[in-house]
Amino acid sequence: MDSTFSALRINPHRLQSNFAALSAIGATPEGGVNRPALNTAHLEARQWFRQRAMEAGLDFRVDSAGNHSALLTCTDPAAPTLLLGSHLDSVPNGGRFDGALGVLAALEVLCTVKDFGLTLPVNLEAIDFTDEEGTLVGLLGSAALAGHLTPQDLQSPRGGRDALLDGLACAGLTETGLLAARRDPATLAGYLELHIEQGPRLIQVGADIGVVTAIVGIASHRLAFTGRADHAGTTPMPDRLDAAQGAAAFTLAVRQMVMDEFPECVANVGALHLEPGAFNIVPARAVLALECRSADPSIFDPLEAALLERARLEAERFGLGLEIEFLGKHAPAPMSALAQQAITEAAEALDLRHIPLASGAGHDAQSLAPLCPAGMIFVPSVGGASHAPREFTEWQDCINGANVLLHAALRIGLHIS
């Protein structure tokens, strides 16, 4: 690598100052942020990002999916663009680092390259994707940019159709715009994203940097076990068709099956409610939210099939009906070898301990993976915590991650040339 570049480092003071300013937008008393996509705080954070980019002398662009980008263009009008980014939205009552760190580090990389007057053969773009967390539609902005978004995705969104329409109206976006936001893959040199790990593994093994090998596939279903409402005092136990029994047996089975038969995977029954839901009425209906994840494409489909088959067996065992509503699926997304190599070399050049690992969480990088060389850099999460106000990453780890992002970007940018 060019020795001109190898001594380059991001400006940690500017990064930290930006992080503090952004963390104040939508700040919660518990120390986190509440910026679900397109809420007031989220729109304010995007406004702040635009302002900061303009002040840094960068161009700014908002596409028809609402993705916000700071741009550092090169002199060649035909040059491809290397995207660096993440997202400024959070889960409700989330943490300060998830997404925000990646956008700020991307902005910092552009500022650093600009400060040092480097000329790269690619455009650099620091992008903030719309609604990564799926308050309205999971990975909305990156899916739109990748051209994966379908009208069907918008008809039955995870957060409900009304919330989607309200959110779009607030942000001045339209469904037509979302469906037209596709970028031509030929114009993209790659995508790199810095993110907190959101898990315990880097700290468990004492590593500074995670080189992400793949992003897990996620399948979501809503299952309803259906029985019969009866008086809970007068109906003998053996005569009941108690929907809660099927749901309970399945909830236990999910955990045990994954641990025994799919040890590299995870699954969760994250919501469950009984209807009609009274002390003295045998539950007629038990509705639960099921999610399963695997980074291995050869295991992902068998995992999903095995869980659904088990739900059928548990329903049958208790004489219940079963309704399965498929809510969506992202295939496992391997990260590109080129990106993994660039990140690994950057970590080594910076003398940082690194390990390869799969991401158990979904990320915008999985939308980009089919289009261009995509890669992710993880930094340690204290206690593995995420999606919660206690989410925390040591400041030195944030700096390390931003420097790895800088050097991986330089490597890919130079490789392209």
Name the minimum Å distance from CB 76 to a copy of itself. 40
User: Which is nearer to a copy of itself, 286 or 343 (by Cβ)?
Assistant: 286
CA–CA separation, 143 and 132 (whole Å): 9
User: Which is nearer to a copy of itself, 39 or 69 (by Cβ)?
Assistant: 39
Give the one residue of 216, 376, 379, 405 binding a copy of itself; rule: CB under 8 A. Answer: 216
Kindly determine how many residues on this chain lie close enough to bind a copy of itself according to the rule CB under 8 A.
60
Q: Of 44-52, 64-72, 251-259, 399-407, which part binds a copy of itself (CB under 8 A)?
A: 251-259
3-class DSSP assignment, residue 121: coil
Interaction of residue 311 with a copy of itself, rule CB under 8 A: no
- Do 349 and 382 meet the contact criterion of CB atoms below 8 Å apart? no
Interaction of residue 249 with a copy of itself, rule CB under 8 A: yes
* Residue 317: φ, ψ to 5°: -60, -35
Interaction of residue 76 with a copy of itself, rule CB under 8 A: no
CA–CA separation, 181 and 63 (whole Å): 7
- Kindly calculate the radius of gyration of the chain based on its CA atoms and give it in whole angstroms: 23
Interaction of residue 152 with a copy of itself, rule CB under 8 A: no
Interaction of residue 233 with a copy of itself, rule CB under 8 A: yes
Interaction of residue 167 with a copy of itself, rule CB under 8 A: no
Q: Of 2-10, 67-75, 287-295, 337-345, which part binds a copy of itself (CB under 8 A)?
A: 287-295
Interaction of residue 281 with a copy of itself, rule CB under 8 A: yes
Cα 138 to chain centroid distance, Å, stands at 8
Q: For residues 87-106, which are near a copy of itself according to CB under 8 A?
A: 91
CA dihedral for 346, 352, 353, 357, sign (positive or negative): negative
Of 267, 270, 274, 273, nearest to 360 (Cα)? 267
Q: What is the DSSP pairing of strand 321-330 with strand 59-62? A: unpaired
Interaction of residue 317 with a copy of itself, rule CB under 8 A: no
Q: Of 16-24, 55-63, 239-247, 345-353, which part binds a copy of itself (CB under 8 A)?
A: 239-247
3-class DSSP assignment, residue 314: helix
Interaction of residue 370 with a copy of itself, rule CB under 8 A: no
Interaction of residue 197 with a copy of itself, rule CB under 8 A: yes
Q: Please state the length of the chain.
A: 417
Give the one residue of 386, 393, 400, 403 binding a copy of itself; rule: CB under 8 A. Answer: 386
Torsion of CA 209, 211, 217, 218, to 10 degrees: 10
User: Which is nearer to a copy of itself, 3 or 234 (by Cβ)?
Assistant: 234
CA distances from 149 to 153, 155, 314 (A): 7, 11, 35
Interaction of residue 278 with a copy of itself, rule CB under 8 A: yes
CA–CA separation, 126 and 110 (whole Å): 7
- Do 33 and 94 meet the contact criterion of CB atoms below 8 Å apart? yes
- Do 134 and 328 meet the contact criterion of CB atoms below 8 Å apart? no
Interaction of residue 205 with a copy of itself, rule CB under 8 A: no
Name the minimum Å distance from CB 359 to a copy of itself. 8
Which positions touch a copy of itself (CB under 8 A)?
91, 197-200, 216, 218, 220, 229-239, 242, 244-245, 247-249, 251-252, 255, 258-259, 266-274, 277-283, 286, 289-291, 293, 359-362, 384-388
